[in-house]
Amino acid sequence: MVDGEVVVIRDMTAGYGRKAVLRGLSARLPRSGVTAVVGPNGSGKSTLLGVLAGTVRPSRGGIERAPAGRPGYVVQRDAVSDALPITVRDTVAMGRWASRGLWRRLSAHDWSTVDDCMARLGVSELAERQLSALSGGQRQRVLLAQALAQEPGLLVLDEPATGLDPDARRHIAAVLDREKGRGVTVVHATHDLAMAMGADHCLLLRAGRLAAEGPPRDVLAPQAS
């Protein structure tokens, strides 16, 4: 892997308040590839994704050579309120606000991007349904469509397959592969071995440090045994 083809995280320390969660972490993510971040509960996966998405600010070091533009970020599904009175189409349209601004009307091009993203995730038939009335798997696809509507160069997903049945997991994995084919750099945290094995690159975190990095079969083989 040569330097021009990677996103570089260099000697990065980050956490919450005075508590450092990630300490001196250096890693590389293949550009236009899928990276899986694995590790036990509390090892710092979500914190790393937060840094990549720009919601957690490192106290030292940081990301070099991130893809241009605002990252698309899909948080863990249980972090999204069930009570939001909003339709599926309007949820996906929120992805356009980042580039359009809150107070400007969305253009015909914006709405066609929204409709295209819903189609890519197979949720077009749900467009007028309330987000709160969807199953967990449907909601996850809608949130992914919202992130794609931002047309990001970097797509960051926190456990996109958790709680989904095997078909839904395969669908999400196929969508991530398709985005990679469109040149998007994809990073996701997962506890799902098949999802991690399907990635191009794998980062294993342990207690806020990088315990291993490389092809998933090399990183995960000792874990699986």
State the minimum distance, in angstroms, from the CB of residue 79 to ligand ATP.
Answer: 10
Task: Check binding of 16 to ligand ATP (CB under 6 A).
Answer: yes
What CA–CA distance (Å, rounded) separates 74 from 49?
A: 10
62: its two tokens: 């940081």
State the minimum distance, in angstroms, from the CB of residue 4 to ligand ATP.
Answer: 30
Site string for ligand ATP, 38-67 (x = CB under 6 A): -x-xxxxxxx--------------------
| Residue 122: how many other CB atoms lie within 10 Å | 13
Task: Check binding of 225 to ligand ATP (CB under 6 A).
Answer: no
Q: Which amino acid is at 91?
A: T
- Does residue 13 contact residue 6 with C-beta atoms inside 8 Å? no
Sign of dihedral through CA atoms 188, 145, 14, 81?
Answer: negative
196: its two tokens: 């991690």
Stretch that binds ligand ATP, among 37-45, 57-65, 84-92, 105-113 (CB under 6 A): 37-45
Neighbouring residues of 33: CB distance < 8 A, sequence distance ≥ 6: 180, 185, 186, 199, 200, 201
Site string for ligand ATP, 97-116 (x = CB under 6 A): --------------------
State the minimum distance, in angstroms, from the CB of residue 159 to ligand ATP.
Answer: 7
Task: Check binding of 21 to ligand ATP (CB under 6 A).
Answer: yes
Task: Check binding of 206 to ligand ATP (CB under 6 A).
Answer: no
**Nearest-CA neighbor of 188 among 168, 174, 202?**
202
State the minimum distance, in angstroms, from the CB of residue 199 to ligand ATP.
Answer: 16
Task: Check binding of 207 to ligand ATP (CB under 6 A).
Answer: no
Task: Check binding of 150 to ligand ATP (CB under 6 A).
Answer: no
**Nearest-CA neighbor of 17 among 63, 56, 73?**
56
How does strand 154-158 pair with strand 185-189?
parallel
Task: Check binding of 160 to ligand ATP (CB under 6 A).
Answer: no
Residues found near ligand ATP in the complex (CB under 6 A): 16, 21, 39, 41-47, 189
